Amino acid sequence: MTTMPTRTVAPTRTWSTVLFDLDGTIVDSAADITASLAHMFTQLGLDVPSDDALRSYVGPPLLDSLRLTAGFDDAEAWAALNLYRDHYGEHVLRSPVFPGVAGVLERLHAAGIPVALATSKPESMARTVLDHHDLAKYFTVIAGASDDEELSTKADVVREALRRLQAKGIDTSNAVMVGDRGYDALGAAANGVPTIMVEWGYGSPAEAGDAMSVVHSADQLRNLLLDHGRTAQTTAQDALR
């Protein structure tokens, strides 16, 4: 990862607001999530899926994945989810922030661009993670899944993040999402928001098809959001027409 250069000139404001995913975008949490999933399957007396299969659970609402991927019925899925949460709650703060991402958040904040979190991780847990890494101060809104999973899909979470921003009087007409999975792009698109995909996350190249752009480093993300955001914004708007 290239070290972000220090600039004395204030960046030009481009996007009206930027929404971020959490797991795989801000924090490198896959190892801790998959370890808790492995613990969950073991406690249930089931074979632990392969590492690749476990990583597929990272991103989408876990309750849905337990039903659709693991084949659990509603009662089994909730029992498994509670086992997972109990274990993961003891390890959630171990996940590090990806290199350079904190600097991007700081620069956006300094530029006066409102930043929101839109994650399918439970909102209370997501806030704890951001607080732990001293990143919550950069976010105007922190939106995540509800503990009862009634609010859990990416489309619903993005919609809620936009609603909260609008309630604060923030312009969301030129919003952009930053995520790492096709699931992020689809959820944002359902709300008319384009997505920048980060390559350092957990998505496959095939998942980038619905993204406006793909970035390979925090430097590229910063440039796209701040230095060259106007061109990207026009491209995104054209793509959505």
Catalytically annotated residues: 21
Beta pairing partners, 48: none
**What are the CA-CA distances from residue 115 to residues 2, 123, 182 (Å)?**
23, 16, 21
Angle between helices 154-167 and 182-189 (to 10 degrees): 50
Q: Residue 170: count other Cβ atoms within 10 Å of its Cβ.
A: 17
Burial class (CB in 10 A: 0-12, 13-18, 19+), 164: middle
Nearest to 194 by CA among 148, 142, 170, 158: 158
Which residues touch 134 (CB under 8 Å, ≥6 apart)?
Answer: none
